[in-house]
Structure 1
Amino acid sequence: MLIEKEIFVYGVIISIGSGVVTLQGFLMAFVGEVFRICAMGLSESSFGLVVNLYRDETMNLLIGALLLNPEDRISEGAKVNGMSRLASILLGDFAIGSIIDPIGNFILNSDRIDAQYRWVIESPAPGIIDRQSVFEPLQTGILSVDAMVPIGRGQRELVIGDRQTGKTSIGVDTILNQKYEKVFCVYLPIGQKASSVLEVYLALVRRDSVFYLSMIVAAATSSAVCQYLAAYSGAAICEFFMLVRELPAFLMIDDLSRHAVAYREIYLLLRRPPGREGYPGEIFFVHSRLLERSAKLSTNLGGGSTTCFPVIETLAGDVSAYISTNVISITDGQIFLSTDLFLSGIKPAIDVGLSVTRVGSAAQWDGMKLVAASYKLEIAQYVELQSFSQFAADLGEETKARLARGRRLVEMLKQFCGTPMTLMSQVGILSLAGQDLIKNLAVEDIRAFLEMYLAVPSWVMLLLPPRLVGVSIVSLLRN
């Protein structure tokens, strides 16, 4: 039996290149199996992952596999040992406040390590019976998002836009706003510059927001294999806290465009036939099986949730690209960021016409519904009226009044990066906008009005109605 077992689990590497290897000698293997490379001079953590099974012209079993540590010096003829288990990482509460690489090694870890669970990286998504409808709001702290595109816990909301339009800022502001919400956050940069990742991490450290945060980093210098596995490792960490700790989790994947490019590179090295734009035909399945793991669990399973913000980078605002349309069809809505709005000084540059949520007001607080119901419609009408009025020589008084009100509403939606608002402040601002208190202010005074309103202590807001506070601030600014 021992001899048969030795033959059964051992094989050799017959070709290698760019982190992709071909194995021969296994009598049986399965996709997702982990194997160890038994070469001289390698550490015990030199593993690989089976991703492709096929037979050659003599019907020998050949295996296409990925090296999890491509920087190891491995040559053809090296012996490998099949471990008969799926790829997994060790997880525990130590992941909070840590920076981890895609295969579970620590780049920066907390003081103690108490590994409690071995969690499969690519586990199946929860079934329909195990889920419930999204009904709890996830407050992002961004006024334009919480008012017009509300997000619920367990939702998948795509953040899409051109380069340098503030996509990462929306995710970072959402993480900052979860400080007192008991929501575990995972920030997952894929293919980003290491300096940019460090800048985001230090910004979160300065705002004391790492005690509920975990980062999984696959920077631009990482291999395509690590960039591909990083997204699934991030989903695994969120699943651990959702299922075991019964917590709401938030996952920010920045971004899926680079994830698709990394998988395309792996796919072509495996000598599989390419499809549209060189991407493999199964790229839709690659992203769908990742994003479907976001869910709001039923109360029988603890009621935890995973909310996902995947990011897609477009070229010249082209939403109809291959990866963009794929992910739009998978997610529950999208937040579209416009370059024109960003360059005109409207930040966050959210395009109201193209942004949508398929959960709707089901994931919005009742008080927010009352004050924000007509806000998105007014903004959309203002955008249409503004484009139409450019060709009109003479405008009526009603049209001028609606344009003036629209300019003030847009000015109220402007918000600096790193300054999330509380729910009470958002409801107060929208309430004042609906009561026409701002029509007596000049557009350039709106920013000062908001700063003075947000500077009012919370105990004063509990004693006095928002309208009285707003009238006082307006009178101060006019005098």
Structure 2
Amino acid sequence: MTKPSLKHTIEQALQAVRKGKDEFTLDTESMEVGRILSIVQGVAYAEGVGAVRAEELLMLGHDVPGMALDILPEKIGIVLMGSGKNLKANEEVARTGRVLDVPVGEGLIGRIITPLGMPLDGRGAIREDERWPVELEAPPILHRAPVIKPLQTGLKVIDTLIPIGRGQRELILGDRQTGKTAIALDTICNQKDTGVICIYCAIGQRSSSVARVLNEMEKRGAMAYSFAVVVEGDDQPGMQYIAPYAATTMGEYFMKQGRDVLVVFDDLTRHAQAYRQLSLLLRRPPGREAFPGDIFYIHSRLLERATHLNTEQGGGTLTALPIIETEEQNISAYIPTNLISITDGQIYLNPDLFQRGILPAVDAGKSVSRVGGRAQMPGYRKVAGDLRLTYSQFQELEAFARFGTRLDEETRSKLEHGKRVREILKQERFAPLTPGEQVAVLLAVTKGHFDKLPLEEIDQAQQHVITALTSALDEIELLGEAQANDPIWDTASKALDTLFAKESPEEA
């Protein structure tokens, strides 16, 4: 076999080059690249990207993401979503052509992630079905339906006096260390086997606090139907700013599939402070308490996304439980009053009740639910119709009774009854009661069966009532759903009368 000559090899190479030259087409892609003008803590100014869109994702330097927040004639203000320690002036700023978005889908359930969808639990990358923008418009009025289904927390004082419906926005507020997160965590843990997907959004919290919450959720099996969006206090303020919007977008994916979602924002005080920091760094005009003029709007457009969609839109719900921290019981401060006016009610935790060991420390007089009563089960209405008024009057009467020792028999009877009601409304953490059990206990206290029992025996008597009625009634769970004229009411009432008709309280 003869070897090809050098001349033949050169000719073949030239033919290949000519063929490649003829078939080659220049496919260019233009990309707008600017440069950093200046950079301060969490914020950068850049020029040369004049066609940038609001909230567009930008890449600064090599790998630092940012979001365009201020678009000015000569420059743009960029909120950093990563560490800017290695960024310098004159480095490149590249457009991505897409607004800031996050992953959504079933792969989020059971995971702990950042607002950008990066995993924090060491279990590998997130399996994402789609990517949705962080900022989405709230559903229009015509796409909404009334709140008609309750969201049971398992806590007697809330399910009875301040009920929450699926699709409602109920604010939880109180001073530091009064049990705000505990109520939200109890609510999440009570959603087991209800089909509600829960999202815990931690904004600017300490790592130890977030770890305790996530550990409790894991220990009690709540992570099987939940996931957490976490941004810590030492993270960039830009990440704290987008965290609640990202969590809401992730929840809306499930809502638009016709499912029920619960989102806890812990807490929006840190969120408002992060936005104030960004606004001051971007040299926006400060207003009251140095907050920018649109501080109300950032929370209203967030919470308006929580709703109950009508059947044409799938019928899904998104319930929001925003948390706000007050100072020195001042619920008339700027941010708390903003949130109170936006939400459909509030649960106020009183530090005085907390210090007296009345837990949950819910102040029934300052708490209200403007929607949930319509979604409350009928059984609650029968036993708790006057309970809220009676309990509020008892609190006022107790305060006045301290000034005098001579009380008439009727006043003394009201005080003793109110003390038993307050004792019944106490509840340990992670000890939820079903609607039937709650109504059974409330029926006993409203009938006055606990009035002659010592306060220290109320808890034992409550457990005995639940056990006795469970054995006497096959349908005790139907007590919560029973109408006022259902025969189960007569049966339950007679069973209670028989139980407490015994000679001594110890036997009862």
Structures share fold, TM-score greater than 0.5? yes
TM-score class, shorter-chain normalisation, is over 0.9
The answer to whether the 8 A contact 1:449-1:473 is kept is no
Matched residue, 1:104: 117
Return the match for 1:94 from 100, 103, 107: 107
- Return the letter of the residue paired with 1:23: A
Matched residue, 1:372: 384
Q: Provide Cα deviations, 1:36-55, integer angstroms capped at 9, x if missing partner.
A: 23x3xx44xx3210000112
Q: Whole-Å Cα distance in 1 between the matches of residues 359 and 210 of structure 2?
A: 22
* SS in structure 2 of the partner of residue 122 of structure 1: coil
* SS in structure 2 of the partner of residue 318 of structure 1: coil
Matched residue, 2:58: 35
Matched residue, 1:276: 288
* SS in structure 1 of the partner of residue 204 of structure 2: coil
Structural mapping, 1:28-427, within 5 Å: 28-37=51-60, 39=61, 42-43=62-63, 46-55=64-73, 61-71=74-84, 73-108=86-121, 113-243=126-256, 245-427=257-439
The answer to whether the 8 A contact 2:103-2:130 is kept is yes
Q: Whole-Å Cα distance in 2 between the matches of residues 24 and 12 of structure 1?
A: 6
Q: Whole-Å Cα distance in 2 between the matches of residues 311 and 264 of structure 1?
A: 18
Query: How far apart are residue 392 of structure 1 and its match?
Result: 2.9
Query: How far apart are residue 440 of structure 1 and its match?
Result: 2.5
Residue segments in structure 1 that go unaligned for 5+ positions in a row: 56-60
Q: Would the alpha carbon gap of residues 457 and 102 (structure 1) be closer, same or farther in structure 2, given more than 3 Å must change? A: farther
Q: Whole-Å Cα distance in 2 between the matches of residues 309 and 326 of structure 1?
A: 15
Matched residue, 1:440: 452
The answer to whether the 8 A contact 2:111-2:228 is kept is yes
Q: Whole-Å Cα distance in 2 between the matches of residues 72 and 48 of structure 1?
A: 14
Q: Provide Cα deviations, 1:43-88, integer angstroms capped at 9, x if missing partner.
A: 4xx3210000112xxxxx3100111112562111111111221110
* SS in structure 2 of the partner of residue 160 of structure 1: strand
- TM-score of the pair, normalised by structure 2: 0.88
Query: How far apart are residue 460 of structure 1 and its match?
Result: 5.2
Query: How far apart are residue 347 of structure 1 and its match?
Result: 0.5
Q: Would the alpha carbon gap of residues 112 and 31 (structure 1) be closer, same or farther in structure 2, given more than 3 Å must change? A: closer
CA RMSD of aligned residues (A): 2.1
- Return the letter of the residue paired with 2:69: V
Q: Whole-Å Cα distance in 1 between the matches of residues 71 and 126 of structure 2?
A: 37
Query: How far apart are residue 452 of structure 1 and its match?
Result: 3.2
Query: How far apart are residue 472 of structure 1 and its match?
Result: 3.5
- Return the letter of the residue paired with 1:184: I
The answer to whether the 8 A contact 2:255-2:316 is kept is yes
Q: Whole-Å Cα distance in 2 between the matches of residues 237 and 470 of structure 1?
A: 50
- TM-score of the pair, normalised by structure 1: 0.93
- Return the letter of the residue paired with 2:364: V
Using the TM superposition, name which of 65-74 and 315-324 deviates more.
65-74
Q: Calculate percent identity across the aligned residue pairs.
A: 39
Matched residue, 2:20: none
Q: Provide Cα deviations, 1:324-350, integer angstroms capped at 9, x if missing partner.
A: 111111000101110111111111111
Query: How far apart are residue 156 of structure 1 and its match?
Result: 0.4
Query: How far apart are residue 457 of structure 1 and its match?
Result: 8.8
Q: Whole-Å Cα distance in 2 between the matches of residues 231 and 403 of structure 1?
A: 44
Query: How far apart are residue 3 of structure 1 and its match?
Result: 12
The answer to whether the 8 A contact 2:168-2:372 is kept is no
The answer to whether the 8 A contact 1:169-1:418 is kept is no
Q: Provide Cα deviations, 1:346-386, integer angstroms capped at 9, x if missing partner.
A: 11111111101111520101111111111101101101111
Matched residue, 1:478: 506
Matched residue, 1:18: 41
Matched residue, 2:11: none
Query: How far apart are residue 463 of structure 1 and its match?
Result: 6.3
The answer to whether the 8 A contact 1:15-1:23 is kept is yes
Matched residue, 1:431: 443
Query: How far apart are residue 446 of structure 1 and its match?
Result: 0.3
* SS in structure 1 of the partner of residue 231 of structure 2: coil
Matched residue, 1:451: 463
Using the TM superposition, name which of 261-270 and 438-447 deviates more.
438-447
Q: Would the alpha carbon gap of residues 477 and 394 (structure 1) be closer, same or farther in structure 2, given more than 3 Å must change? A: closer
* SS in structure 2 of the partner of residue 30 of structure 1: coil
Matched residue, 1:58: none
Using the TM superposition, name which of 108-117 and 138-147 deviates more.
108-117
- Return the letter of the residue paired with 1:86: V
- Return the letter of the residue paired with 1:47: P
Q: Whole-Å Cα distance in 1 between the matches of residues 89 and 332 of structure 2?
A: 43
Q: How many residues align?
A: 466
Query: How far apart are residue 470 of structure 1 and its match?
Result: 7.5
Q: Whole-Å Cα distance in 2 between the matches of residues 51 and 214 of structure 1?
A: 28
Using the TM superposition, name which of 218-227 and 402-411 deviates more.
218-227
